[in-house]
Structure 1
Amino acid sequence: MILGSDCDTELFAMISWTLWFRCNKSSFSPSGIPLEQVLQHAYEGLQEFWTANQPAQLQRVRPRERWSDPHAGLYRINFDGALFTSLDRARIGVIIWDCNGLVMASLSQAIPLPLTVLETETVAVARALEFALELGLDSVILEGDYEILMKSLMQDSLSLATSGLLIQDVKVIAESFQCISFSHVRREGNKVAHNLVRHAYHVTGFSVWMKDVPSHTLVSYQADLPIS
């Protein structure tokens, strides 16, 4: 009946999956998705699917993305986040570079498991900005590979998504900087932050490296250094 109607079949499928996920989650935890948020979660999940699949055909012909020198005096911040549902935790990774492309500091951290990927990424970007402020930096370029989030941060309007309040909190933190800009990059240009997320799998609280990165991220870090 659905396939023969004018209904959005992709959205219907995502709503059905979200209802199943909510029922399954509620069986093990009282903090399952509230029923009134099912439609919004389904829509966000569909947006994530579209975002993840749109660049797939273009990735083969795009040049490798690496460090691009920001203006003098600006620091580049790369961040990433991932869900580890088997551990009921999420992990975030942050790296801050100076204007010469050298690492200022890096961070891996474990956080309580949010409900969606978007919420995880939003928590990650908030932690990245707080990390920069803790280091006394006030002029930054923030780069992330989650397009939905980066577009929301670039817009002045209030997001209606379930993570809208989290995004608004990030914008409030951003007001603490003298100069700040947001930039969407592909995963190829965010490998170090992604590897810091993987390292966070072994972190209970958080770990910080000053002017350094964990040993297993050295290859991706050195590959992203500017060509002398």
Structure 2
Amino acid sequence: MVSAIIPHRHVADVFVAEAFSCLQAFIFAKDLGFAKVVIEGDSLTVIKKNCAMTSDSSLLGPIIHDIKEVSKGFESIVLCSVHREANNIAHTLVREGRGKCSSMFWIEVAPAGATTAAALDWKNLNRT
């Protein structure tokens, strides 16, 4: 498992932020040489746009296009929509990254607060 904080300034809205995050996740996975990726997000809109076979003419279109280009060559890709309550780790990383000027990356370790958030995600994901 890997995680990252990559600051973006002047992001138009939450959908653009989610799309940028998805793009950065694919770039990070490609840079690390992963063949198989699973990317979870709580923006069903971004997930659906990435899975669509048609081109996207919305504000997200150029980012979605970049995601599709970067994702070529992976052996396996799984894009999952998860409820916000099961995505605490992503929101922990967002809070951790606010105000940061440079990117931060973690490989096989967790940033502050991420372990607790991951446990909460697992609990919320497995509710019956």
Q: Which TM class, normalised by the smaller chain length?
A: 0.7 to 0.9
Displacement of 1:145 in angstroms is 0.4
Contact 2:5 2:104 in 1 (8 A): yes
Matched letter for residue 172 of structure 1: E
Which residue among 43, 48, 65 is the counterpart of 1:146? 43
Displacement of 1:117 in angstroms is 2.1
Q: Once the two structures are superposed, what CA deviation does each residue of 1:131-180 show, in whole Å capped at 9, x if it has no partner? A: 11122111112211011111111110111212212111111111131111
CA distance in 1 between counterparts of 2:96 and 2:15 reads 20
Tell me which residue corresponds to 1:162: 59
Say yes or no: does 1:186 pair with 2:83. yes
Which residue among 192, 207, 210 is the counterpart of 2:107? 210
Identity %: 26
CA distance in 2 between counterparts of 1:224 and 1:116 reads 24
Displacement of 1:130 in angstroms is 0.6
Tell me, what secondary structure is at the counterpart of 1:153?
helix
Q: Once the two structures are superposed, what CA deviation does each residue of 1:180-223 show, in whole Å capped at 9, x if it has no partner? A: 12111111121111111110014211111221112222211233
Tell me, what secondary structure is at the counterpart of 1:111?
coil
> After superposition, where does 1:39-50 map in structure 2 within 5 Å?
none
Larger radius of gyration: 1
| Length, aligned pairs only | 124
Q: Once the two structures are superposed, what CA deviation does each residue of 1:91-140 show, in whole Å capped at 9, x if it has no partner? A: xxxxxxxxxxxxx2221121122222222211111001111112211111
Which residue among 4, 8, 18 is the counterpart of 1:121? 18
Structure 1: runs of 5+ lacking an equivalent: 1-103
Structure number with greater CO (CA < 8 Å, separation at least 6) is 2
Tell me, what secondary structure is at the counterpart of 1:143?
strand
CA distance in 2 between counterparts of 1:165 and 1:217 reads 31
Q: Once the two structures are superposed, what CA deviation does each residue of 1:10-50 show, in whole Å capped at 9, x if it has no partner? A: xxxxxxxxxxxxxxxxxxxxxxxxxxxxxxxxxxxxxxxxx
RMSD of equivalent CA atoms = 1.9
TM-score (norm 1): 0.50
> After superposition, where does 1:97-116 map in structure 2 within 5 Å?
104-116=1-13
CA distance in 1 between counterparts of 2:27 and 2:86 reads 22
* CA separation of 1:205 and 1:155: change in aligned 2, threshold 3 A: same
